[in-house]
Structure 1
């Protein structure tokens, strides 16, 4: 605009334009400096910035009376960004006041508006315009009142409409942001609670290895990788007395917090029943009836339970709908041991379970796991399967229980790739040393 006026595009006194344009530009740039140096009373900063904005538009609008009409809507729209009705009210009042001043100043200093002046003859200079306005008033044409009625009021009405639309949208947006902020706080709270729940769940599972450093007859290792922050799988192992080691592998239906809560109950009941000296079959039957009581959520759990007699190498096992274990005999390979399985726990009251015996000798390895291993899928939705699991175990068959579990987990990860993990992966390996 400045350059166009120099070449005569706008009919504005060049001296006046040379004063108005630098002043307007300075007022527009001043907020950028204020943001950097203003340290005290931050709440006042937005009012000072908006004041500079209004003065800048007012200065230019007084000069370019026709071309900058729409510019007055900008401060109102910008003020809505602060989501403060009070600030938007202040801005609208400032806009209406500054625009009123700019309209009348423009009569004397700005671009000649032939429609407003009712004269196609361009009058330059303040003196000539003042005389023209005075003559019009004396002739019964109150130019000042006519400008107010037909120029200022319509523009002000448009700005009020812009204000009403802007503040309505601002309130809606502000409410949405507040709800989003509340949702984010709630998600953070839930995330923190889930993190604590994960730590609590992890602390409930045996996680210190070697678990029994004083026992040279066997080596044991277990691990759980939940698909979510907290999972429904669990394992357990504990000595019921000096000669008996209980092994538990279980998978609760569902995922997340409900499964974790049911897992805590099931794990506690299983351990209490096993430590009382019951056989694996009796443990499952007792715990099944306990879990069926008040099971309004209709959850259930699959359980593989074995009690290993260390002195004889005899392993008594009962299975409640769980995966078949894999066993490697000394100098042999891993293979599934397919025994008959009973119904899941908490699925039906008074269910009966079978019990069978296994003989474990020096060099034998027992591997138990949840269905998250065999049912892991890749991007093409192909199952990992027990075949790949056995192959991974046999490739690392000479390793320790810890190395076996890591070998299987690494093989599952390679197979799955970038596909998401939908089920918990839990494994336990027991190696007989003598």
Structure 2
């Protein structure tokens, strides 16, 4: 109702009241602040309310022909329009009916003979209450619309993250499993994998700066670029170099992404990787030993053009696993503010050596969530594990 005309319905059978109302509020009428509608009884008033849905304030007499004010008030309540406020007007000595009206849902009352200064104050107070309610109702509608949009965005984002595990069941040379839980409806973490050819498996894990919808949109852009470039370029370093170059025009001052990118030769166990400012994965060997992959440098993507990305190659043996993750794992906090950190992750991996990738990843999520307890999840959590060879 802010910056708009307030529509007011006056229900009274006294013929002089219409002239008095127009005279007393002529300035507000002239300035299009108020617009008055008039009815002589409750039946006429109900017809007007049905035609003029923007009427939110009613001034109604109690004693009227055809349909009195109390019956009219009861009919108004049946409309179930909480923004529609009724102020009853009656003689001061008619307190019994006024009490009945207030108990029946009237918002306020004024007495006859009408004190127009008091009436104006009552109108302004009631209109202010109506405006607050309508504003809250609009905010609720926007929140519901946003919630729907976020829910749809979450569904779309989940479709971008392949979840139909197990995959490549006809290829016994490796196994892979991944999982992501967003801190909000949608998140900035992501993972991806695909076969470059019959012997090479490409996989990556990423973390976009920020959370929520902006991070989710940027995440979709990154995911698309990584798949497009990765399907054409086998070298991890060259893939990140090209993606970085493409992301820079799409990034603003606060937007960037960290990515770990690896290519596994599933026939020989040769593993080449490149890191773009991401958490270094762990190498969980078949004998239970755990080590962090060697840091080959490489800054985050989407910020610095012309930065070099280097790659490293190591040899995996049957049963060895590469466990990639985002900082939502190591920086998960318990109610005391203590972080999970790398030491606990390494200890967990050592105690779960020999597990399949699905068992390992799901157990790690349970471990981290158990550690966090009742503390709210402050960041997206993502884990992707690749094992060379199967049992």
Q: Which interval holds the TM-score relative to the shorter structure?
A: 0.7 to 0.9
- Is 2:7 the counterpart of 1:51? no
- Is 2:269 the counterpart of 1:313? yes
Offset at residue 205 of structure 1 (A)? 0.9
Match of 2:286 in 1: 330
Gaps of 5+ in 2: 1-45, 51-59, 74-80, 98-109
Q: Distance in 1 between matches of 2:82 and 2:382?
A: 52
With structure 1 as the length reference, what TM-score do the two structures score?
0.66
Match of 1:234 in 2: 190
Q: Work out whether residues 322 and 341 of structure 1, in 8 Å CA contact, stay in contact via their aligned partners in 2.
A: no
Match of 2:318 in 1: 362
* More strand as a share of residues: 2
- Is 2:351 the counterpart of 1:395? yes
Offset at residue 96 of structure 1 (A)? 2.4
Matches within 5 A, 1:3-402: 51=70, 84=84, 87-88=86-87, 91-92=88-89, 95-96=90-91, 99=94, 156=112, 163-402=119-358
Offset at residue 53 of structure 1 (A)? 12
Query: Alpha-carbon deviations, 1:310-360, whole Å to 9, x = none?
Result: 111101000010101111111223332232321111120011011100111
Offset at residue 212 of structure 1 (A)? 0.9
Q: Work out whether residues 84 and 130 of structure 2, in 8 Å CA contact, stay in contact via their aligned partners in 1.
A: no
SS in 1 for 2:138: helix
Offset at residue 217 of structure 1 (A)? 0.9
SS in 1 for 2:91: helix
> Structure 2 vs 1, CA of residues 287 and 49 (structure 1 numbering), >3 Å: closer, same or farther?
farther
Q: Work out whether residues 364 and 432 of structure 1, in 8 Å CA contact, stay in contact via their aligned partners in 2.
A: yes
Q: Distance in 1 between matches of 2:68 and 2:260?
A: 71
Q: Distance in 1 between matches of 2:94 and 2:194?
A: 84
Q: Distance in 2 between matches of 1:53 and 1:353?
A: 78
Q: Distance in 1 between matches of 2:262 and 2:192?
A: 11
Selected match of 1:426 from 382, 385, 389:
382
Q: Distance in 2 between matches of 1:370 and 1:165?
A: 60
Q: Work out whether residues 175 and 357 of structure 2, in 8 Å CA contact, stay in contact via their aligned partners in 1.
A: yes
Q: Distance in 2 between matches of 1:282 and 1:388?
A: 34
Larger Rg computed on CA atoms: 1
* More helix as a share of residues: 1
Match of 1:74 in 2: none
- Is 2:382 the counterpart of 1:407? no
With structure 2 as the length reference, what TM-score do the two structures score?
0.73
Gaps of 5+ in 1: 1-40, 55-80, 103-153
